[in-house]
A and B are shown apart, each in its own frame.
Chain A
Amino acid sequence: DIVMTQSPDSLAVSLGERATINCKSSQSVLYTSNNKNYLAWFQQKPGQPPKLLIYWASTRESGVPDRFSGSGSGTDFTLTISNLQAEDVAVYYCQQYDLVPFTFGQGTKLEIK
């Protein structure tokens, strides 16, 4: 199985600043035939289901603010939240959908400093 490891487990960032969350996969999730990374990012607020933010590692889902961006390729990926807003407080998960069983990272809890 592909193991997804996020860092840090939690972080606190000031309003208006940038938050950076990392995700590392135990093997590459880049499918070379189409040059796509099978990596998604989700946001989950307390008491709510997860919300898809990013897929193909860097494609923002419709309606997601452009302060959310994804980058990386192969085994190393980053979710960046610029100009942090109070409503961004949540747990963030990465997920690979390259190989079954699909696997999630352990989550990163984002708080306001």
Chain B
Amino acid sequence: QVQLVESGGGVVQPGGSLRLSCEASGFTFNTHGMHWVRQAPGKGLQWVAFIRNDGSSTFYGDFVKGRFTISRANSKNTLYLQMVSLRPDDTAVYYCARDRFDSDTYFYGTPDYWGQGTRVTVSS
């Protein structure tokens, strides 16, 4: 069965950096695009970033403004989110999620399988 396990969250000071990881299993990782979606405490869902199956294209939410970088290592079945210049409003649970469609079928789509999330707190 599809499993996504995030790690790397924690408490960081404003202006600091963090790298999130998401280890995938149960499907052919290099055939699907992947998403990061976040949820601030008590708030709704906010899409963060997407990367194509082969890493050839990446897209970001407007609020990222060059501070985050999504990447993947298909040989390790792992997705990453490098975050720098973190702000208090980046405090959230960060979910990685698989794209519903394989990349040969659609360029991108909607998330189907989600991990349990990793919590990021930006505070001094």
Contact = CB atoms under 8 A, between A and B. Distances in A.
Interface of A: 1, 38, 40, 42, 44, 49-52, 55, 61, 91, 93, 95, 97, 100-107
Nearest to B60: A101
Contacts of B108: 97, 100
Contacts of B45: 42, 44, 50, 93, 95, 104, 107
Contacts of B60: 101
Interface in B101-115: 108-112, 114-115
A52 B97 CA distance: 11
B47 interface: yes
A100 B100 CA distance: 16
A96 to B, nearest CB: 9
B100 A102 contact: no
Contacts of B27: none
Contacts of B111: 50, 52
B80 interface: no
Given A50-B114, A52-B112, A55-B109, A100 B50 contact: yes
Nearest to A101: B61
Nearest to A41: B110
SS class, residues of chain B in contact with chain A: strand
Contacts of B29: none
A111 B30 CA distance: 40
Contact of A104 (B44, B100, B115): B44
Contacts of A40: 110
Interface string B38-79: 000000111100100000000111100000000000000000
B46 A104 contact: yes
A102 B50 contact: yes
Residue from the set A52, A102, A104 with the largest chain B CB neighbour count within 10 Å: A102
Residue from the set B45, B115, B117 with the largest chain A CB neighbour count within 10 Å: B45
Contact of A97 (B110, B116, B117): B110
Nearest to B49: A101
Residue from the set A49, A91, A103 with the largest chain B CB neighbour count within 10 Å: A49
A50 B111 CA distance: 9
B47 A104 contact: yes
A110 B23 CA distance: 33
